[in-house]
Amino acid sequence: MTRNKEPNPWYVGVVSGMASYIDSAAIISNGTALVIYQKAIGTTSTEIGILSGLLTLCIAVGALTGGRLGDRVGRRSVFILTMAMIIVGTLLLAFGLTFPLLLVGTILIGLATGADLPVSLATISEAASEGNRGKIIAFSNLLWTVGIGTTMAISSLVGDWGIVGAQIMYLHVGGVATVLLVLRWFIPESSLWLAARDEQRRGLTTVRAQKTAWGDLFRGKYLWPFTALCLFYTFVNLAANTGGQFGTYVAVNVVGISVTTNSLWNLIIMPLGMASGILFMRIVDTPKRMPFFVLGAVLITSGYAMPVLLNFSAASWFFCILFCSLGNGLAFEGIMKVWSQESFPTMLRSTAQGVIVAIARLSCGMLAFVTPVLLDAGPSVLYCILASTAGVGLLIGWLCFHGQQRNEFSTEVQTLIEEQPKPADAALNNIVHN
């Protein structure tokens, strides 16, 4: 088996972790640019609805299929292909300007961003060591927030430029993808994946060579963490996504503040949320991980409950945004990514992550259809549901992972060590063969 020269894990973390940046930048750019197209080229409300829903669906499908392909054919092949698809997709969205071409561009970007996420995370975790794996994965999660901030900044500058403004927003995503395609080209295939493939070909019975099928996620020691991660991430994501999608509506029509005030509060609190994420990076590879997860869980649940408890006052809304932002940094996407990398062997790692993301994205898309009905029943009903849903998801995460953490990487490292011949054995083999 040919072994690649191991790249710096932080370099791999930045280049591969930019998948999270592109994910958030593509979603926000698409939402803003389509509104611009509505006035500039006459895109209808129905077409915007179709394109927006299709993007969510394709991200879910991409995560499901891309994660599996990453385990079957390798990480490197998939994350190079996804960057090429994003480049083509953004060009179609920027210059197509007809509904069929916008449709194709949306499909390409959705499938590619969805497929890239689980594969890039597997690449990061397999390049890292026990001492920095959680930190690097957590850093990739911060890039998701950077993608939001950068895209919002671009939108504030070019939002009134008509078609050119929309094109700049799409080309920003395509330009980042082009740079990443070049940088990723020189990142070698994961050495852990190559070792697992080699063991498969030689018929060895190691865990990573044998635990490769979809069905392995639903039995044995993988069933409980897989089920818990699906439920934890889906439930908390339902609350976060719904709060994000309909937060401005509630702020203006229920709380009674302006769009500008609501946006300003979010911008003020965003650095605090990033600081929470940086704190998570510092503690995730230590025994302090779980106590801080509990703190984050309390903040998230309290945040969604705050508007109900204080009758949707301006103060309650501010603390809702603040608590959720701080809690998300400690007990949401970052810890999900770390747990999902640690809980499964090499040939199931990307597959499991893809399924977890796909289920969460599809659930959010379905809930969006009925959220307006829940709002009609009263915002208190909606936010009671959000607080309860997030609380249940966080409790499931705690129940599964609060004990001694099982780490599949430790098992795989031991297997690699055991496969290497001892010096005395090697000397004896040389005597026998000579």
pLDDT tens track for 265-289: 988 898 999 999 999 999 999 999 9
With bands split at pLDDT 50, 70 and 90, how would you rate the model's confidence at 227?
very high
Go through 417-428 and write b for each residue having 16 or more CB atoms within 10 A of its CB, e for each that does not. Answer: eeeeeeeeeeee
pLDDT digits (tens, 9 = 90+) for 323-341: 999 999 999 999 999 999 9
Residue type present at position 167:
Q
Say if residue 229 is in the same domain as residue 349.
Answer: yes
My answer on whether 254 and 399 are in the same domain is yes
pLDDT band at 85; cut points 50, 70, 90: very high
Among 285, 80, 267, 258, smallest CA distance to 178 is for 80
Residues 52 and 152 in one domain: yes
256 and 180 together in one domain: no
The model carries a pTM of: 0.86
Are 157 and 53 part of one and the same domain? yes
What would the pLDDT profile of 157-189 be if each residue is shown by its tens digit? 888 888 999 999 999 999 999 999 999 999 999
Q: Given this model, what pLDDT does residue 432 score?
A: 36
Contact (Cβ atoms closer than 8 angstroms) between residue 169 and residue 29: yes
pLDDT band at 242 (very low <50, low <70, confident <90, very high): confident
Out of 164, 187, 210, a domain closes at 187
Express each pLDDT in 245-264 by its tens digit: 778 788 888 899 887 888 78
For residues 237 and 310, membership in a common domain is answered with: yes
Q: What's the alpha-carbon Rg for the chain, to the nearest Å?
A: 23
Predicted local distance difference test score (pLDDT) of residue 331: 95
The count of domains in the chain is: 2
Per residue in 357-383, pLDDT tens?
999 989 988 887 777 777 777 889 989
**Do 309 and 350 belong together in one domain?**
yes
Model confidence at 210: pLDDT above 70: no
CATH code at position 259:
1.20.1250.20
Query: 427 CB contacts (<8 Å, ≥6 apart)?
Result: none
Say if 287 falls within a structural domain: yes
Residues 127 and 48 in one domain: yes
247 and 324 assigned to the same domain: yes
In sequence order, the 6+-apart residues with CB closer than 8 A to the CB of 30 are 51, 52, 55, 93, 106, 109, 170
Of 418, 421, 419, 416, the closest CA to residue 193 belongs to 416
Q: Which of 143-147, 247-251, 418-422 has the lowest mean pLDDT?
A: 418-422
Range of the domain at 299: 219-406
